[in-house]
């Protein structure tokens, strides 16, 4: 079965700019109606009106901060509705900075937006999708999920952000295995540096003013979405938009299998040898 989000209604979080706005535009152009979720009401209203005029799509706007429990409950209730056939968990904040210097409130918000919200929304969406026999969930992560041991410079200080995106990768891959054989698909999109406004703030508050692109540049958001929707249609669980060799994902799974060989009942000889030398 293929799935490209061209029917029913798609819920897109973080839709007020960047990758989220591109998902919204592309899906509306393919015939999907939309629910757009973000913190910036004015940005959402402008996007919704443009998409209505350009595509004829029915577009709902939900102004919500997914770090706020009451807002998350509202969005989860909408996501669980019968007309939702695609959920794009795109909202995310970075909280960049040295771990010992970033405020704990901001770090908690990073976890709430990047981990708690997509988990809750996927849980809200999937039972109905499974019952109806159709649907998909796309979770937007980051290649920083795979950059744990690399030091900052040129990469950002990202201990918590990278950890949250690592969660999204593992969550999605494991969920895909759980849902194998059902008509419902899940995907994790892992873009690298993307030409959006993401690096213009930490996420504690929305980036003010008109939409713009950070100076670091990167892949156009439209190209990220093209790759993600193509991969969703072809059934790829892990989509890295700039990856030419998809076998790299297979090699990752092979490396994980090798690591799991350490789950036996005996300690590895290299560790036992240390204890024996001390005796």
Which residue positions in the chain have pLDDT lower than 50?
1-2
Give the domain range for residue 112. Answer: 9-278
Q: How far is CA 102 from CA 24, 94, 137, 272, 279, in A?
A: 32, 11, 31, 40, 45
For the domain that residue 198 is a member of, what is the CATH number? 3.40.50.720
Q: How many domains does the chain have?
A: 1
What backbone phi and psi angles, to 5 degrees, belong to 9?
-125, 135
pLDDT value, residue 122: 99
4 in any annotated domain: no
Distance CA 14, CA 88 (A): 9
3 in any annotated domain: no
For residue 96, indicate whether it is catalytic: no
93 in any annotated domain: yes
pLDDT value, residue 198: 83
pLDDT value, residue 58: 98
DSSP letter at 172 equals H
Annotated catalytic residue: which of 3, 23, 96, 161? Answer: 161
1 in any annotated domain: no
Per-residue pLDDT tens digits for 155-209? 999 999 999 999 999 999 999 999 999 999 999 999 999 989 787 677 677 777 6
pTM (2 d.p.) = 0.93
128 in any annotated domain: yes
Q: What six digits make up the tokens of 10? A: 């798609």
* C-beta neighbour count of 23 within 10 angstroms: 31
Q: What six digits make up the tokens of 266? A: 């005996």
Q: How many CA atoms lie within 13 A of 107 on its CB side?
A: 14
2 in any annotated domain: no
DSSP letter at 177 equals H
């Amino acid at each position: 079965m293929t799935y490209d989000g061209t029917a029913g209604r798609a819920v897109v979080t973080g839709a007020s700019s960047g990758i989220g706005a591109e998902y919204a535009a592309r899906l509306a152009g393919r015939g999907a109606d939309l629910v757009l979720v973000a913190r910036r009401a004015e940005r959402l209203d402008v996007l919704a009106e443009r998409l209505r005029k350009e595509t004829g799509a029915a577009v709902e706007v939900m102004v919500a901060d997914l770090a706020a429990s009451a807002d998350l409950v509202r969005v989860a209730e909408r996501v669980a509705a019968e007309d939702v056939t695609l959920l794009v968990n795109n909202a995310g904040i970075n909280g960049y900075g040295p771990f010992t210097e970033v405020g704990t409130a901001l770090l908690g918000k990073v976890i709430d937006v990047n981990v708690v919200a997509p988990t809750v929304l996927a849980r809200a969406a999937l039972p109905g999708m499974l019952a109806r026999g159709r649907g998909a969930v796309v979770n937007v992560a980051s290649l920083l999920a795979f950059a744990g041991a690399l030091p900052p410079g040129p990469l950002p200080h990202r201990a918590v952000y990278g950890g949250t995106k690592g969660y999204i990768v593992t969550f999605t891959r494991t969920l895909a295995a759980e849902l194998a054989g059902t008509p419902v698909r899940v995907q994790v999109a892992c873009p690298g540096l993307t030409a959006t406004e993401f690096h213009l703030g930490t996420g504690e508050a929305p980036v003010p003013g008109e939409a713009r692109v950070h100076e670091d540049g990167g892949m156009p958001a439209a190209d990220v979405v093209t790759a993600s929707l193509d991969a969703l249609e072809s059934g790829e669980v892990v989509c890295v938009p700039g990856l030419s060799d998809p076998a790299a994902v297979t090699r990752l799974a092979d490396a994980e299998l090798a690591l799991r060989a350490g789950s036996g009942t005996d300690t590895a000889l290299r560790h036992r040898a240390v204890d024996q030398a001390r005796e």
